[in-house]
Amino acid sequence: MSYSDPGNPDAYSNAWRNDGGVRPHAYDPYLQPELFRGVATRRVFAFLIDLLVIAVPVILGYLFIALFGLVTLGLGWALFWLAWPASVIWAVVYYGACIGGPHSATLGMRVMDLELRTWYGAPGYFVLGAMHAVLFWVSISFLTPFVVLVGLFNGRRRLLHDIVLGTVVINNSLRARLPQQAARTY
């Protein structure tokens, strides 16, 4: 499929194009700086909120297993080997479902009025949200928290995993107020 209308990320056609098939960036930090103002700081707080949302069910699950182990005289503690994989699955499903949902944002991002979009302006989807979480945790694990410094040195405030996945986090309420780009025909 080729993309036929850069002003409308949902417009696809099978028509031949002579522009090399390259989509322009939907959000320009120099033409629309308000979209990126305060995003880095609010992403930190959104992450902390999301961490709380993920941690509460995990902690409750661990407490349930501990109490279940007491009631079953230690037999229930065998479920602890399932707790860590279940925690990872829960986090990936949470990010995938939230970013793939109608708001393209996790609960923390919604509280902080942020939204994740592809670099060409399309909303997020489940696999993108799941991969966003996985790449974030992998990059933090291997490259230490210094990977977050990447966001301070680019205009779109994109972190390393955003660049790899081709996503951008913007101010949600300001995006809705921006004038729509005029449709171009090729």
Quick one: what percent of the chain has pLDDT higher than 70?
A: 82
Quick one: what percent of the chain has pLDDT higher than 90?
A: 56
How high is the pLDDT of residue 1?
A: 40
Q: Which residues contact 101 (CB under 8 A, 6 or more apart)?
A: none
By residue count, the chain amounts to 186
Average pLDDT over residues 48-77: 96
pTM of structure: 0.80
Query: Is pLDDT above 80 for 8?
Result: no
The H-assigned helical ranges of 16-125 are 39-71, 80-99, 107-111
> Cα(45)–Cα(40) distance, rounded to whole angstroms?
9
Residue 176's pLDDT band (cuts 50, 70, 90): low
Residue 18's pLDDT band (cuts 50, 70, 90): very low
How high is the pLDDT of residue 133?
A: 95
> Cα(11)–Cα(5) distance, rounded to whole angstroms?
6
Helices then strands (H, E): number in the chain? 6, 4
Would you call 29 helix, strand, or coil by DSSP?
coil
Candidates 4, 39, 16; CA nearest to 117 is 39
How high is the pLDDT of residue 41?
A: 92
Query: Is pLDDT above 50 for 37?
Result: yes
Neighbours of 61 (CB within 10 A): 17
Average pLDDT over residues 30-47: 90
Burial class (CB in 10 A: 0-12, 13-18, 19+), 129: buried
Taken in order 164, 166, 168, 172, the sign of the CA dihedral is negative
Residue 178's pLDDT band (cuts 50, 70, 90): low
How high is the pLDDT of residue 169?
A: 93
